[in-house]
Structure formats: structure tokens, C-alpha cells
Amino acid sequence: MSNANNSAKFAFFYVLSLVTLVFTSLSTGMIIFQIINKKIMDSLTLAPGDFSQDALRFAISAIIIAAPIYFAMSWLINKNLLSGKLDRESGVRKWLTYFILLVSAVVMIGWLIAAIGSFLNGELTLKFILKSLTSIIISALIFSFYLYDIRREDTSKNNNIIRVYFYGSIVIAVIALVAAFFFIDSPFVVRGQKFDQATVNKLSQIDNSVNAYYGE
């Protein structure tokens, strides 16, 4: 009964870490993609192509919420491995770790497909290369970490490689989050823009009404 309860608990840890990992990694990639879109000018449009404030806002929100949960779950999983409460040969650990590997591979494939599609649609070669490298690096870091974790022999001692991955990924997420704030409008600016848009909409309604009255 105790083993069954532990299996359910560890399955919860792994599934929650998977969900938050997806949000964290995708949001990190989205931030880098938007910075690339912002900084590399497209001579075709004479403007930062495909740059989206909405995408940045979503990515910031996702990292702020999902990243701490992911790192907390990863820490709990490693803590239970060190204490022996989570067996290295546990079926839950193996099945869900390989499932995370599958998801990371699918995400990498999806990112690369999107990057190639943008390139074939006329996107600049430099932007295509940078976005492809971003997709490969993020996915490769996730894939290599979990592949190493599932294959390591001794899980009863602290592992320096695991520590490098753990703290390195925290640094990457923090850098991406901080960088995003340099490219996003503040909430006060966004609110002012919404007021301006509301004014434009009302003036447009007045213009339509005047034209309709003149037409009659």
C-alpha cells in the first residue's frame, strides 16, 4: 500500500514537472524568437517582422508561474532519489522520464518545422539560422539531461552534472525573463494604448455616423 501511495506521489511529481517544463521551455524559446524578430530588421517590411507584444506577455507570465514549480518538482524528485524513497528502477520513473524525452523530441521537431516553414515563406536566412539554433539548443539540453538522468548508475549521491544542468537551466530562465522586460511595453503604456485605441474607435464610429447621415 505504501509503494502504491509513493508511486502515485512520484507520478504526480513527474507529470507536473513535465507540464511546467513544456511551459518553461516554450516560453524561453518564444522570448528568444521575439527578440530575434525585434532586433533583426526585415528589409521587405522595413519593420521588425512578426514581433508580438502579446507573445512576450504570455511568455513572461508562463515563466513566472511555471518555472518555479518545475524547479521545485525537479528538486523534490532528486531529493527522493538521493534518500532512496524513489527507486532508480521504479517503473514510474522510467516510463515518465522516457515520456518527457518523447515530448522534448516532438517539441524540437515542431520548432524546426516552424522555422523551416518561415524560411520557405521568405524569412531572412540569419533569422532562420538563429531560430533553428535556439530550438536545437533548448531541446538538446532537455533531452540530454533526462537521458543522462535515466542512465546514471548511482542516484544515492549528489551528482555534479545534475547540479550543472539544474542551476544552468535556472540561469537561462532568469536571463530570458529579464531580457523580455527590455522589449515589452509596461502595463501603464499598454493601458494608455488601449485608451488611445478606444478613442480612435469612437471617432471612427462618429465618422461613420456622419457619412451615413450625409448619404441619407
Residue 215 has pLDDT above 70, yes or no: yes
Residue 42: pLDDT band with limits 50, 70, 90: low
| Alpha helices per DSSP H over the chain | 2-39, 53-83, 91-120, 125-151, 160-181, 187-215
Q: 527522493: which residue's cell? A: 80
CA atoms within 13 A on the CB side of 3: 4
Residue 115 has pLDDT above 60, yes or no: yes
The residue-averaged pLDDT of 60-84 equals: 90
Pick the range with the lowest mean pLDDT from 35-49, 52-66, 68-82: 35-49
Residue 71's pLDDT is what?
93
> pLDDT tens digit string along 127-182?
778 888 888 888 888 888 888 888 887 777 777 888 898 899 999 999 999 999 88
55, 99, 121, 124 from 117: Cα distances, Å: 19, 27, 6, 12
User: Which contacts of 170-176 are long-range, i.e. CB under 8 A and separated by 24 or more positions?
Assistant: 170/67, 170/71, 172/28, 173/24, 173/28, 173/63, 173/67, 176/27, 176/28, 176/31, 176/32, 176/59, 176/63
Residue 5 has pLDDT above 70, yes or no: no
The residue-averaged pLDDT of 80-105 equals: 82
pTM: 0.77
53 contacts 184 by C-beta, under 8 angstroms = yes
Residue 79's pLDDT is what?
86
Burial (CB count within 10 angstroms: exposed 0-12, middle 13-18, buried 19+), residue 87? middle
Residue 65's pLDDT is what?
94
Residue 1's pLDDT is what?
43
